[in-house]
Amino acid sequence: MTPSAVVFHGHFYQPPRQNPWTEDIPLQPSAAPFGNWNVRITDECYAPLADLGAFEWLSFDFGPTLSRWLARERPDVHDAIVAGDWAGRARLGYGNAIAQPYHHIILPLASHREKTTEIRWGLQDFEQRFGRAADGMWLPETAVDRATLAALAEADVAFTVLAPHQVGEVPPGGVGRVALDGGRSIAVFVYDGDLSHGVAFGELLEGRDAWFDRIELAQVGGSPLISLAMDGETFGHHHKGADQTLVHVLEQLRRSKHHRIENFSSFLSKAGTLPDLDLVEPTAWSCSHGVERWRSECGCKMIPERPSQQRWRAPLRVALDELSGHLEDAYQTLAPHYLRDVESARENLGRVLAAPSGDFDAYADGFAIAGEDGARALLRMTRDATAMFTSCGWFFDDVSGLEAGQVLRYAAHAIDQLATLDRERAARLENGLVEALSSAPSNDDQIGDAGRFYVEEIRSAHPFPALA
C-alpha cells in the first residue's frame, strides 16, 4: 500500500485585546484565574504545544496580532513556533507555517484596497517573523470569493485552504486549482470535513487511538493526501488534554508504514498537474449562509439556546463601512502634506507592525516630509481603519461584547488620530458614527444600542473632545 501524505493544520488565532491607546491588555475577569485570555490560552495551549515539539510536525498559521503579543510577552513560545517552521524546512525542504492577512477581517466584504493591503501586511509580517517568504495563506474564517483568490494570486501566494462545502466536487486528496482571470490560478487544499469535525468537536479525542484509527480507515481508500484543519486552540484550550492526544497521534503516524507527515507546501511541490475546482462563493467555514454572519442576522450564534437577536450586525457593518470611506478620503487628502510616497508608506507598514514595540515611530519618521507626529497619526489611523473590521466583532452574540467593543475602540482610536490633524473633520465623523450605531440594538436593555454603548463605554474610558 502506497503511504498517504498526512497534513494536520492548526489555525491559531485570538481576537486582538490590546487597548489601542496603551497597547496593554486590560484585566479580563472572564479569563480568571488568569489576567486576560491571551495569558490563559497561552498557558493552556500554545506553551504546552511548543514544549511538546508539536510545531515541528504541524502545518500551522498564527494570527499576526497574536504573534506580535507572543513575541513581546512570551518570546520563548514565539521562538519555539518559529523553530517549528524551520524544523519543517530541514525535514521536508518546506516550512510548516503559512501566512494570514494581518488583521482577521472577512476579505470578501472588504474593498479591493483593504484586501490587498491586509494580504501585503500579512506577508510582510510573515517574512519578518519566519525569515522567508510565505508559500500559502490562510483566509480568516476561510471566507472566500474569486476576488479574494485573485488578490492572493496577485501577491504570489501559491495556495490556500478551504472547507469541503466551499468548492464543487472534491477531487481525490482534496487538492486542485481555481482558474482566475488573466491566466492566473491558485492551488486550493480542501480539508477532510468529517475528520476535522471529529477532532474539533471532540469525538475523535475520546480514547488515545480513535483519531489514528479513523485516519487508517481513510487511507484504505488510497487517497494521496489526508488533510485536517482545526482551530489550533482545540488542543488544550477547547479540549483539555487534547495537546497530549495530538502528540500521541503524531508519534503513531511517524511510526506507521502507511503514512508520512508532510505540510501543504511539500505536498504541492510533488503534486504535478492539479484538477480544476469550482468555487462556491462567497462562503466561509463557520457560517452556513455564506458570509452573512458578518453583516446580517443570519441565525448563526455562539449560544444558540440563548434567546437573542443579531439585528445589530448590519448597522454595525454599515456604520464602519461609512467611517472607513471617510477615513480613506481623509488619508488621501492629508497624507501628501505629511508623507513622502503616500501609498508606499501604507503598503509596506506590515514590515514594522510585526515588531513587538519600538520600530513603528522610526518607520513613520522615515516617511515624514515634515511634522513627524502627523505622519505617525496618519499611519496609525489607516492601520486602525482596517483593524476595526476584525471578524470577531460580528461573530459573537451582542454588540456590547468584548469583541464588538474592541472594533469600536479601533474606530475611536482612528478618529483620535485624525483629530490631531483635522479636529473639525474628526468631530463630524464621530457624530456620524454615533448616529449610525444608534440603529444597532443591543440584547441588553440597559445598554440600549451601539451608539449609546460607544459614547458611555468606549468614549468615557478614553475621553477625547471630538464629539460636537
> What's the rounded Cα separation, in Å, for the pair 240 and 11?
18
Q: How many helices (H) and strands (E) does the chain have?
A: 20, 7
**In which band, very low, low, confident or very high, does the pLDDT at 467 lie, cut at 50, 70 and 90?**
very low
Cα 265 from Cα 282, distance rounded (Å): 25
Kindly report the number of other CB atoms within 10 A of residue 426's CB atom: 25
Predicted local confidence at residue 360, as pLDDT: 81
Q: Is the pLDDT of residue 468 over 50?
A: no
Cell of 233: 486552540
When pLDDT is cut at 50, 70 and 90, the band that residue 336 belongs to is very high
* pLDDT tens digits for range 226-250: 999 999 999 999 999 999 999 999 9
Across 166-170, 214-218, 340-344, least confident range: 214-218
Q: Cα separation of 137 and 124, whole Å?
A: 12
Q: Which long-range contacts (CB under 8 A, 24 or more apart) does 207-211 make?
A: 208/245, 208/248, 209/252, 211/245, 211/249
pTM equals: 0.96
Closest by Cα among 460, 464, 461, 433 to 449? 433
Q: What structural domains does the chain harbor?
A: 4-269 (3.20.110.10), 295-461 (no CATH)
The pairs formed by 284-290 with CB atoms below 8 angstroms and a separation of 24 or more are: 284/106, 284/141, 284/142, 284/143, 284/144, 284/166, 285/141, 285/142, 285/162, 285/163, 285/166, 286/141, 286/142, 286/395, 287/141
358 pLDDT tier (thresholds 50, 70, 90)? low
Across the range 174-181, mean pLDDT stands at 97
C-alpha cell at 395: 461573530
Among 58, 4, 13, 2, smallest CA distance to 263 is for 58
Mean pLDDT of 279-308: 95
Q: What is the average pLDDT value for the chain, to the nearest integer?
A: 94
pLDDT recorded at residue 192: 96
In the chain the first and final C-alpha atoms are separated, in Å, by 73
Strand bridging mode 175-179 / 159-162: unpaired
In tens, the pLDDT along 79-124 reads 999 999 999 999 999 999 999 999 999 999 999 999 999 999 999 9
> Mean of the pLDDT values across residues 64-69?
95
For 2, other C-beta atoms within 10 Å of its C-beta total 7
Give the sheet arrangement for strand 175-179, strand by strand: 159-162, 185-190, 175-179
CB neighbours of residue 329 within 10 Å: 12
Contacts with 130 (C-beta within 8 Å, 6 or more apart), sequence order: 82, 85, 95, 97
**pLDDT tens digit sequence for 371-404:** 788 999 999 999 999 999 999 999 999 999 999 9
Q: Is the pLDDT of residue 2 over 80?
A: no
Residue 43 per-residue DSSP state: I
The pLDDT of residue 3 is 74
